[in-house]
Amino acid sequence: MKIHHVGPMNVNPYQRQYNRLEKQASSANKKDQVEISEAAKELQEAAKWESARQEKVEKLKQQVQNGTYTIDPKAIAKSMIRYYRNQ
């Protein structure tokens, strides 16, 4: 039996160790990242609108209780006509 390539077989144990350390270092540099979806952004916007709407409702309630709330019948009639014409 003949054995060829007696001697080093291009195996460098130091290079292997260096490659392992390099892989560990690159994985250690990774950072967590958070992305907010479009649906979540829309929900956040809706929450802002909800609080503004709630404030408006509270003001109207107080005006009704105090008797200072006035109704504009012409504006209501115009809104009703516009609504029924669009349907």
| CA 15 from centroid of its chain's CA atoms | 44
Predicted confidence at residue 47, as pLDDT, reads 79
Predicted confidence at residue 6, as pLDDT, reads 56
Running along the chain, 87 residues long, what does each successive block of 10 average in pLDDT? 61 74 70 84 83 90 93 93 91
Task: Label residue 61 exposed, middle or buried (CB < 10 Å: 0-12, 13-18, 19+).
Answer: exposed
What whole-number distance in Å separates Cα of residue 79 and Cα of residue 75? 6
The total number of residues shown for the chain amounts to: 87
Predicted confidence at residue 29, as pLDDT, reads 63
Predicted confidence at residue 27, as pLDDT, reads 62
Domain ranges of the chain: 44-87
Predicted confidence at residue 13, as pLDDT, reads 67
From its phi and psi, is residue 73 left (phi > 0), alpha (psi between -120 and 50) or beta?
Answer: alpha
Predicted confidence at residue 63, as pLDDT, reads 93
**Among all chains, which residue has been given the structure tokens 């309630």?**
61
